[in-house]
Amino acid sequence: MSEHFALSSDLISELLTGMRLRGVQYRRIQTGPSFGISLNAKPGHAYFHYLAVGSAVLRTEDGVLHELSAGNAVFLPQGAAHQLLSSAGEPTQDISCFESAPLGDTVSAVNLCPTTSAIPSAILFYGCMQFDLGGMQGLGPLMPGLMAADATSDRYPGLMPILAAMKGEICSGRIGFAGILARLADVVAAMIVRGWVECGCDYASGLVAALRDPRLARAILALHRHPGRNWTVSELAEECNSSRSVFAERFQATIGTPPLRYATELRMRLASQWLIQDRLPIETVAQNLGYTSQAAFSRAFKRITGCPPGASRGSLMKSLGR
């Protein structure tokens, strides 16, 4: 195994370790021959669809049509608005307009089959998730609006049995199937992201280019593994066996921000995740990130994010109704 491959694998593992997919809403949808469902844009979230039975058309905001057949899975990491249709000309209604029956805490069933249809024409599982890449949040804007998973592709080894398990749970309706479906959806979404990163992120620029450059990747990996260390530019350059000036110039040119600014922004992205999603105390977060006092951490957090850590957590909890 080459050194560069090992380094890339470490960075992919770092990405997936920090990634959080938290299901907000899941629905199992059964339809008749004709259907049209619209889903609004949800920034900070991702959409996931798995078509277990039948066929459908997914139309993105730009009007592009994507044909889906049984066994296809798609992931929309930007949470962009889109529509699911039986055919391109079908009228649509917002998904919130359809009656649903609860199957669990976050899972519900929507039955769009007319009374004249004894057997559903299409069965799909839909998920809306909070999508947080943690310290690798800079990758989010670089991801394509829609990522379609071909389970037979080399990009997604191991995906086919998971999708087969999803179909089995959808169609069997066994005890506890709703919760199992939600967890499987999270796994499939993570595998789709991993496949995208492993295959070079479609040659995106910025942070992705840095991850592919062994002259920078070592420093980025060190920052993500030890965010609480008080790094200097010289120490980061040493990680890459480079001079301070050459490293700083290459880092700035590739990522678009100086190394220490990146380190500070990384700490604040991790802080936001730990405070809001993991619900860690502010004092603990400050210690984990190497700050000598809670006051020093709060000043840095406000300088980068625009609000103090307590207010940041409180505003999100309020928006989620918690």
User: pLDDT digits over 20-75, tens only?
Assistant: 777 778 888 999 999 999 999 998 889 999 998 899 999 998 899 999 998 888 99
Q: Which domains does the chain have, with CATH numbers?
A: 21-201 (2.60.120.10), 213-319 (1.10.10.60)
DSSP states of 25-92 as a string? EEEEEEE-S--EEEE---TTEEEEEEEEESEEEEEETT--EEEEETT-EEEETT---EEEESSTT---
Cut 0.95: pTM above it: no
Structure tokens at 197: 């990163």
Radius of gyration, CA atoms only, the chain:
22
Q: Is the predicted pLDDT of residue 135 greater than 80, yes or no? A: no
pLDDT band per the 50, 70, 90 thresholds, residue 120? confident
Q: Is the CB of residue 14 less than 8 Å from the CB of residue 221?
A: yes
Polymer length of the chain? 322
- What confidence tens digit (pLDDT) does each residue in 212-269 have? 777 788 888 888 888 899 999 999 999 989 999 999 999 998 888 899 998 998 888 8
> Residue 94 has what DSSP assignment?
E
The percent of residues above 90 in pLDDT, for the chain, comes to: 30
Q: Is the CB of residue 69 less than 8 Å from the CB of residue 49?
A: no
Q: Residue 199's CB: how many other CB atoms inside 10 A?
A: 13
d(CA 266, CA 251): 15
What's the mean pLDDT in 278-288? Answer: 89
Closest to 107 (Cα-Cα) out of 193, 185, 189 = 185
